[in-house]
Amino acid sequence: MGDIAIRKANDLPSDARRAVERILGRSLKPNEEVSIMAFAPHEAPAGEARHALARQLEDRVTRTAARVRDVPDDEQEAAINEALNHVRSNQK
């Protein structure tokens, strides 16, 4: 994957904020975050390769779900939020 940037709306330089607002067609709220991704597109797999990848993804999702089956929803949510906060704090 290409480069990714996540910034709080209040932390954007004014020219960047205006550009994002023009692209979105609306004003940014102060507490919103903006994500920007840059990557080179590629052709999606077709035929059997596509089916094989879909099966692999489904298997991965099933294995991941089995690992957290007995974890309460609020603990799962807390773990996800902790991971997101960690990633975001390391990008600044």
pLDDT > 90? residue 91 = no
- Please give the pLDDT value at position 30: 87
| The model scores a pTM over 0.85 | no
Centre a 10 Å sphere on the Cβ of residue 89 and count the other Cβ atoms it contains: 8
Q: What is the mean pLDDT of residues 53-81?
A: 94
CA dist 30 and 36 (Å) reads 17
Task: Go through 40-69 and write b for each residue having 16 or more CB atoms within 10 A of its CB, e for each that does not.
Answer: eeeeeeeeeeeeeeeeeeeeeeeeeeeeee
Residue 2 — pLDDT band, cuts 50, 70, 90? low
